[in-house]
Structure 1
């Protein structure tokens, strides 16, 4: 019978923490907004202006569970769709059209109201 060592337990705890969404903590909102703004600034879409994604930071946090890898997957998928459709910009509808990655696959929060459509 194998017994876990201290190091193996620490490693498994760290691994579990990397894939477990966490609630927003004080200061995280500004950090998330800054991260989204930087990612948005790196988009090379002809019709996309800076700001729309930054204003959707709470929506993006809720949708991705606060997971940076999922956020990156979400924005990259929406950018590819924007290029393929010729829209050349990312919208909330475009974000909702992208399936979440396996790490955060769950019911999609943040449905659209009529005003968002």
Structure 2
């Protein structure tokens, strides 16, 4: 079993593990910045693989009954309208508006 090929994060040229710099582009491959760049590069690779898997699953046809359920699960369905009900807050607001109108009419 061979070791996986190590690629430069900048130019994607292969290099020997443990090298201090990329032989192709000369980028430094040691130090805290190189470690963080390596971590970010690995995360990008993992995210690209996940995105490719998601795209592949989205291209596959859905079973007949799951179209509506899938849309509702992702919030694509229309929200239900709330029935207009009188609440305590609504009653107080209406009563306050009525008092304000009566005060304005008395003032005028």
Q: TM-score, normalised by structure 2?
A: 0.26
Q: Based on CA coordinates, which of the two structures has the bigger radius of gyration?
A: 2
Which of structures 1 and 2 has the larger relative contact order (alpha carbons within 8 angstroms, sep 6+)? 1
Q: TM-score, normalised by structure 1?
A: 0.24
